[in-house]
A = this chain, B = another copy of it.
Amino acid sequence: MSKLPVVDASLACCAPLSDPALSEQEAAELARVFKALADPVRLRLLNLIASQEGGEACVCDLTGPFELTGPTISHHLKVLRQAGLITGERRGTWVYYQVIPEALTRLSGLFALPALTSA
């Protein structure tokens, strides 16, 4: 298991890519977030969580769509959590996951290219 600390993805980027001078540290933090996203299962898990009514998904609803074991799904959810993209909260038997809206909104802003799209 990874021993990397959890990334605060909401802080990892704050300006669009079209702004100059992404720092080396910001680039390193963002690269970790994109590494977490660079897996089809994790993307589908994030999609499943983000598309839930109420923005929350029980882990018990996240294993069915995949031909993967529970521990494998849990590992992928842990990577998404360590990347600062989702939170998980245990309530009774199950863990419930939510996306961190600020993290996704910052990523959305990163790729927004006002100067280019208006050219």
Contacts and interface: CB of A to CB of B under 8 A. Distances in A.
How many copies, total? 2
Interface string A77-91: 000000000000000
Nearest to A32: B38
A95 interface: no
A50 B116 contact: yes
Contacts of A74: none
20 contacts: A17-B46, A18-B51, A20-B47, A21-B51, A22-B43, A24-B40, A24-B44, A27-B40, A30-B37, A30-B43, A31-B38, A31-B39, A34-B38, A37-B37, A99-B113, A99-B116, A101-B116, A105-B113, A105-B117, A108-B113
